[in-house]
């Protein structure tokens, strides 16, 4: 992660948030190339999952939302992290992360002969086998820390007894809305984009021609007051989600079939559209303990980040839980009319939910390559932040610079995406700078260009060069950027 972090800062992918004032924990700013990459990923997601399908519509719901939405969804009561504090160095950490990281480093620990009050030997054995403690309550985690003397990862010599008890903290950000007094002024920054799709369900049904099965998709910011582990943008308090609620009639559609179809689409998006290596991906099915009580099946697509396999994208069959909850709390029916039977149907839902920032971190981790002295980001050309760079061989020869400017202006007009100009340093250094941000093509205008109207096109991945007529350049690059 250190090499990636250094590259992020050096080349303008990601900067620490509020750095000028000493920084603000768990926040990040995206620099010029990072912003382009993030936008390209979002646009591609939108195109693939909304624009190119005929069973999807989009939504852009408010970030600030009524407190009753979050009461109905269960977030005000149950959306919390179990945290524990080291009494010595005051580090606050998520208890599940502390335990899972410790277990993965101490797989060979002898668990025989331990006595528990709230845990059971079977539960502990499963945790050592799966390296997961999801579904454990604070008392169970506190007991594990105590029984196995789990040390503080920061100050290292802190035995289990010096931890506080594990306690739960709600993740939602409450906000007070201006002039309205009392409870009415309480609102929340949304903790997930998903609720927008349930709250606007009837609006979408009444204002469009959708028919079951159909999905509502949304890309946008969500906010969670999380403690993070410092793995760049993997987990932040403000992040972007790309979520889909896919509504269907359980009497007419087989949920397993739909679920598997979504698995395939997610996999294809990551491998074919984003070009990620399949060996760095795996599916993980949630156990009964881990899965939410209303979910019939949940699977995570995990990516092998520099800090290990972690959740990239969740897929859950949530039954009709969310619509039913909102029906109950809002006292309004949330149904569609079946045009064949004229009966009311309360749809069930399958939810693929991904963090756009995690897709961003994944494509950068996956593309990062060192070849001798050369660091190259082998990003899929479709999402590369800069599509092409144009260089005059020498910056002090007016004929070369003039010709290069003509090519640059032409490509700026004709290529979909960013084209940059660079005349600093020698050609080798310019190549290295572009390789580090993953620019697929570098075009050099040299003395031959003045004679025959051809340019050198250098390919990022193979570093090979070919001569191409200027008249063919835009078409050739555009076809390779698809």
| Cβ closest to ligand GAP, residue 316 vs residue 388 | 316
Segment contacting ligand GAP by CB under 6 A, of 235-243, 267-275, 422-430, 452-460? 235-243
226 binds ligand GAP (CB under 6 A): yes
Q: How many CB atoms lie within 10 A of CB 470?
A: 18
| Cβ closest to ligand GAP, residue 236 vs residue 456 | 236
Segment contacting ligand GAP by CB under 6 A, of 68-76, 276-284, 347-355, 429-437? 347-355
Segment contacting ligand GAP by CB under 6 A, of 180-188, 279-287, 306-314, 380-388? 306-314
| Cβ closest to ligand GAP, residue 300 vs residue 446 | 300
Distances in Å between the alpha carbon of 458 and those of 271, 372, 426?
25, 18, 15
CB of 266 to ligand GAP, least distance (A): 11
Whose CA is closest to 147, among 128, 167, 169?
128
HSE of 423, CA atoms in CB hemisphere, 13 A:
15
CB of 255 to ligand GAP, least distance (A): 17
Preceding amide of 39 cis, omega within 30: no
| Cβ closest to ligand GAP, residue 219 vs residue 354 | 354
CB of 353 to ligand GAP, least distance (A): 4
311 binds ligand GAP (CB under 6 A): yes
Q: Quote the DSSP letter at residue 117.
A: S
Helix (H) or strand (E) run with residue 295 in it? none
Q: How many residues does the chain have?
A: 482
Residue choice 76, 158, 236, 439 for contact with ligand GAP (CB under 6 A): 236
Segment contacting ligand GAP by CB under 6 A, of 307-315, 331-339, 374-382, 412-420? 307-315
30 binds ligand GAP (CB under 6 A): no
| Cβ closest to ligand GAP, residue 190 vs residue 387 | 190
439 binds ligand GAP (CB under 6 A): no
354 binds ligand GAP (CB under 6 A): yes
Strand partners, 456: 444, 467
| Cβ closest to ligand GAP, residue 366 vs residue 422 | 366
Contact 269, 45 (CB under 8 A): yes
| Cβ closest to ligand GAP, residue 59 vs residue 312 | 312
353 binds ligand GAP (CB under 6 A): yes
Tokens 């007894």 map to which residue?
161
Sign of CA dihedral 199, 200, 202, 203: positive
Contact 41, 54 (CB under 8 A): no
Segment contacting ligand GAP by CB under 6 A, of 122-130, 233-241, 419-427, 460-468? 233-241
| Cβ closest to ligand GAP, residue 127 vs residue 312 | 312
Contact 449, 399 (CB under 8 A): no
CB of 337 to ligand GAP, least distance (A): 27
Contact 76, 170 (CB under 8 A): yes
| Cβ closest to ligand GAP, residue 145 vs residue 359 | 359
Residue choice 97, 235, 286, 291 for contact with ligand GAP (CB under 6 A): 235
Contact 96, 310 (CB under 8 A): no
Contact 202, 334 (CB under 8 A): yes
CB of 33 to ligand GAP, least distance (A): 20
Whose CA is closest to 145, among 219, 231, 86?
86
CB-based closest residue to ligand GAP? 355
For the chain, give percent helix, strand, coil, nearest 5: 40, 25, 35
DSSP assignment of 191-245, as one string? S-SHHHHHHTHHHHHHHS---SSEEEEEEEEEE--------GGGS-SEEEEEEEE
194 binds ligand GAP (CB under 6 A): yes
Residue choice 269, 313, 360, 391 for contact with ligand GAP (CB under 6 A): 313
Helices (H) and strands (E) in the chain, counts: 16, 24
CB of 335 to ligand GAP, least distance (A): 22
Tokens 């979910």 map to which residue?
295
CB of 351 to ligand GAP, least distance (A): 6
243 binds ligand GAP (CB under 6 A): yes
Residue choice 286, 326, 358, 382 for contact with ligand GAP (CB under 6 A): 358
Residue choice 314, 327, 427, 481 for contact with ligand GAP (CB under 6 A): 314
Q: How many residues bind ligand GAP (CB under 6 A)?
A: 19
SS3 351: strand
CB of 32 to ligand GAP, least distance (A): 22
192 binds ligand GAP (CB under 6 A): yes
DSSP assignment of 119-184, as one string? S-HHHHHHHHHHS--TT--HHHHHHHHHHTTPPPTTTS---GGGBPPPEEEE--EEEE-TT--GGG
| Cβ closest to ligand GAP, residue 88 vs residue 310 | 310
Residues that bind ligand GAP (CB under 6 A): 192, 194, 224, 226, 235-236, 239, 241, 243, 311-314, 351, 353-355, 357-358
């Amino acid at each position: 992660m250190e090499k990636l972090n250094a590259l992020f800062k050096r080349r303008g992918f990601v900067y620490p948030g509020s750095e000028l004032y000493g920084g603000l924990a768990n926040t990040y700013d995206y620099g010029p190339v990072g912003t382009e990459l993030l936008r390209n990923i979002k646009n591609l997601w939108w195109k693939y999952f909304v624009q190119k399908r005929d069973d999807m519509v989009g939504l852009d719901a408010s970030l600030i939302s009524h407190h009753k939405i979050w009461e109905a969804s269960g977030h005000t009561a149950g959306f919390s992290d179990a945290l524990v504090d080291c009494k010595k160095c005051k580090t606050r950490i998520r208890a599940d992360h502390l335990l899972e990281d410790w277990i993965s480093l101490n797989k060979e620990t002898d668990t025989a002969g331990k006595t528990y009050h709230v845990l059971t030997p079977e539960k502990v054995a499963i945790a050592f086998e799966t390296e997961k403690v999801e579904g454990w309550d604070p008392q169970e985690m506190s007991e594990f820390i105590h029984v196995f003397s789990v040390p503080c990862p920061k100050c290292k010599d802190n035995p289990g007894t010096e931890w506080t008890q594990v306690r739960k903290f709600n993740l939602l950000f409450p906000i007070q809305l201006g002039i309205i007094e009392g409870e009415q002024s309480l609102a929340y920054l949304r903790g997930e984009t998903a609720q927008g799709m349930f709250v606007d369900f009837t609006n979408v049904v009444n204002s469009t021609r959708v028919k079951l099965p159909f999905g509502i998709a949304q890309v946008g910011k969500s906010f969670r007051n999380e403690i993070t582990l410092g793995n760049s943008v993997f987990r932040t308090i403000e992040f972007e989600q790309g979520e889909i609620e896919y509504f269907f009639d359980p009497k007419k559609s087989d949920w397993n079939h739909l679920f598997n179809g979504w698995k395939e689409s997610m996999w294809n998006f990551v491998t074919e559209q984003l070009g990620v290596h399949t060996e760095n991906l795996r599916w993980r099915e949630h156990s009964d303990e881990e899965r939410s009580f209303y979910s019939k099946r949940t699977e995570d697509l995990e990516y092998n980040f520099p800090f290990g396999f972690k959740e990239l994208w969740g897929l859950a069959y949530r039954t009709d839980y969310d619509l039913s909850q909102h029906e109950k709390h809002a006292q309004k029916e949330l149904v569609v009319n079946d045009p064949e039977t004229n009966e009311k149907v309360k749809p069930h839902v399958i939810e693929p939910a991904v963090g756009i920032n995690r897709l961003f971190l994944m494509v950068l981790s996956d593309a990062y390559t060192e070849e001798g002295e050369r660091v190259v980001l082998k990003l899929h050309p479709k999402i590369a932040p800069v599509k092409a760079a144009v260089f005059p061989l020498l910056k002090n020869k007016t004929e070369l610079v003039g010709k290069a400017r003509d090519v640059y202006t032409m490509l700026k007009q004709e290529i979909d995406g960013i084209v940059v100009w660079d005349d600093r340093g020698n050609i080798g250094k310019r190549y290295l700078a572009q390789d580090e941000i993953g620019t697929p093509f570098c075009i050099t205008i040299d003395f031959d260009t003045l004679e025959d109207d051809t340019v050198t096109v250098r390919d990022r991945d193979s570093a090979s060069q070919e001569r191409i007529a200027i008249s063919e350049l835009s078409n050739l690059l555009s076809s390779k950027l698809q």
